[in-house]
Amino acid sequence: MLNRIIRIMATAAGCALLLAGCSLRLDDPALEMAQETGVTINFDAGSALLLDDAKRTKAAYYDDTSFGVFAFKQSGGTWSQLNSKKWKPNFMFNQEVHYSSGVYTYSPTRYWPDAAVNTLTFWAYSPYDASADLLVRGTSNAYASTSVGLPDIRFTADGHTDLLYSDVEADQTSASNSGEVHFDFNHALALVELKAEKIDEDGLYGVTMKGVSFKGIYATAILRHSTASPANPAWGWDDYSGSRQELPVWEDDPDDDSDDVMLVHGTATPLASIMPLPQDLTNDACWLHVEFEVSYHEDPLDPNSAVLTYTTSRNVYLRDVFYTAGSAWAKNSHYTVTLQISPDRPIQFTVSWDDWGAEHNYHLSS
């Protein structure tokens, strides 16, 4: 009887060991990999909205830079069921993908799930930031791998760093595009290009630019999205914060004469391009500040007379500059502002605008 009890106990212990062994194997990364297809998840990026008008081709992604990827694993169901299924970015969370010379790399390598019901949905932003200020949609709560849906992003614009967000690539499988995820990126900022010319029909004076800046501009806000259409959410800026700031557009180096910009009558000279945060410009705090040097002969009729100079500046409400464009900067829009400068009259200006096309692509262009 004692031997029988020992045999039963030994058998129970063996089962316990077997179960423990099974538990260990289920957590074994090698076994988890075996449950995948072995097909590597690859990436490709560009923008369908940044089209070359002549070639009508997708604009290429920016060389030697990175974007952050979020991937949601859906065990049955589709991304359109976001609100009921509560998908979370626990398959990839802010995964850096680097692009250089036509090659996309990331680590560790991830593989497509083997079961057809295990689809993946992807979303990305650029440039990648390991400490990006990600928020749960519509809140100020931090977004994590256990959060639901896409993140909002709090962003501070420096004028020289672009911010892109991708379309949602929903319900992808290893058979979709041969296992390659194709991101189409959109510009979240505006692009403002400035040019200047002088008004001087008689050639009586010279105008040398000294500086151009936007004053009273918000630099920080939150890029938020709607869930009305989970596969194609609308994105917009909200919750502007911090003090209004001066955003330098172009400035002369007083110690380097080679960068002097002397204006020409009837010909617009490019000054600079800058990428501000989209925002309303109707507030009295928003100004365009222009500073320039005027030179002229003491005797206008004697070209050998002494040359005199003085520096002056002009301020114009930004709502007056951009009123034809709606008195606001909009995301994914390119504005061209041409200033006509005369020392004895107010600055005149013309503004044109269009979609931010491939020929105006900027990214990390400090």
pLDDT at 47: 60
Q: What is the CATH number of the domain that holds 83?
A: 2.60.40.2620
- Is residue 278, in this structure, part of any structural domain at all? yes
What own/partner pairs with CB < 8 Å and gap ≥ 24 does 307-314 have?
311/210, 312/343, 313/289, 314/289, 314/290, 314/341, 314/346, 314/347
* C-beta separation of 223 from 165 below 8 A: yes
Q: Judge if 48 and 14 occupy the same domain.
A: no
- Is residue 86, in this structure, part of any structural domain at all? yes
Could you tell me what percentage of the chain is helix, strand and coil, using 3-state DSSP and rounding each to the nearest 5?
15, 50, 35
pLDDT at 8: 36
pLDDT at 61: 80
Q: Which of 289, 127, 323, 155 is nearest to 216 (CA)?
A: 289
**How many angstroms separate the CA atoms of 139 and 149, rounded?**
13
Q: Judge if 290 and 351 occupy the same domain.
A: yes
Residue 201 has φ and ψ, to the nearest 5°, of -60, -30
- Is residue 366, in this structure, part of any structural domain at all? no
Q: Judge if 167 and 244 occupy the same domain.
A: no
Q: Judge if 201 and 123 occupy the same domain.
A: no
- Is residue 300, in this structure, part of any structural domain at all? yes
Q: Judge if 253 and 344 occupy the same domain.
A: yes
Q: Judge if 183 and 195 occupy the same domain.
A: no
Q: How many residues does the chain have?
A: 366
pLDDT at 29: 42
pLDDT at 358: 55
Number of domains forming the structure of the chain? 3
Please give the chain's pLDDT, 366 residues, in tens.
Answer: 434 433 433 444 443 333 333 333 333 443 344 456 688 999 998 765 444 444 445 667 888 889 999 999 988 888 887 766 789 999 999 999 999 988 999 999 999 998 777 899 999 999 999 999 999 999 999 999 999 999 999 999 999 998 999 999 999 999 888 889 999 888 899 999 999 999 998 888 999 999 999 999 999 999 999 988 888 899 999 999 999 999 999 998 877 877 889 999 999 999 999 999 999 999 999 999 999 999 999 988 888 889 999 999 999 999 999 999 988 999 989 999 999 999 888 899 999 988 776 555 555 443
pLDDT at 30: 39
Q: Judge if 202 and 236 occupy the same domain.
A: yes
Cβ neighbourhood burial of 111 (10 Å; 0-12, 13-18, 19+): middle
Q: Judge if 345 and 209 occupy the same domain.
A: yes
pLDDT at 301: 83
**How many angstroms separate the CA atoms of 264 and 124, rounded?**
45
pLDDT at 227: 82
Q: Judge if 98 and 208 occupy the same domain.
A: no
pLDDT at 28: 40
Name the residue range of residue 325's domain.
191-360
Rounded CA Rg of the chain: 29
- Is residue 333, in this structure, part of any structural domain at all? yes
Q: Judge if 180 and 66 occupy the same domain.
A: yes
Q: Judge if 20 and 101 occupy the same domain.
A: no
Q: Judge if 11 and 73 occupy the same domain.
A: no
pLDDT at 78: 85
Q: What is the CATH number of the domain that holds 217?
A: 2.60.40.2630
pLDDT at 38: 83
